[in-house]
Amino acid sequence: MGGFAQVTYETSGVGLAAILLYAVAVYAILVIPYWVIFTKAGREGWPALIPIYSTYILLKVIGRPGWWLLLFLIPLVNVVIYIIMMNDLSKSFGHGVGFTLGLLFLSIIFVYILAFGTSTYRGPAGATGTAMSPPPPPPPMPA
């Protein structure tokens, strides 16, 4: 009669501490650029520390309504909303489609570029469809 060998694993406090340290490091890497992005947009940076609230603040920075947060609960719709948000974030700082693609496919790198690069906040892109202000009207013609 065959029996199964029992394998037991023992975890130590050091392993748990390493996992916790790793989680804190990853969290910090993700929070730091959003803190700077929020401050560049004229908002306080601390909301970047709170996961769902930071997304709500990001929606406000890009000019989208806060109820869009609920759209993240709908499968496939959440992907579309995320793409729109990244496009609006890119436009809000004066960038185009290429930067949006960078935010989508190389997120962490492009978020840091947005935060610590020379990009300046130009206003919420989602509110008007574009963050670029229209050119001033031409001067009136002399009579």
Dump pLDDT digits (tens) for 48-75.
Answer: 999 999 999 999 999 999 999 999 999 9
**What does pLDDT average to over the chain?**
88
Give the model's confidence band at 7: pLDDT under 50 very low, under 70 low, under 90 confident, else very high: confident
Predicted TM-score (pTM) of this structure? 0.76
Name the residue type at position 68.
Answer: W
More confident: 137 or 124: 124
- CB atoms near residue 93 (< 10 Å): 25
Q: Which two tokens stand for residue 141?
A: 């013609």
What pLDDT does 129 receive?
Answer: 47
**CA pair distance 29, 142, nearest whole angstrom:** 58
- Residues 6+ positions from 19 with CB-CB distance below 8 Å: none
Give the 3-state secondary structure of residue 119: coil
pLDDT in tens, 78-134: 999 999 999 999 999 999 999 999 999 999 999 999 999 999 999 998 875 444 454
Cα–Cα distance measured from residue 143 to residue 50, given in angstroms and rounded to the nearest whole number: 60
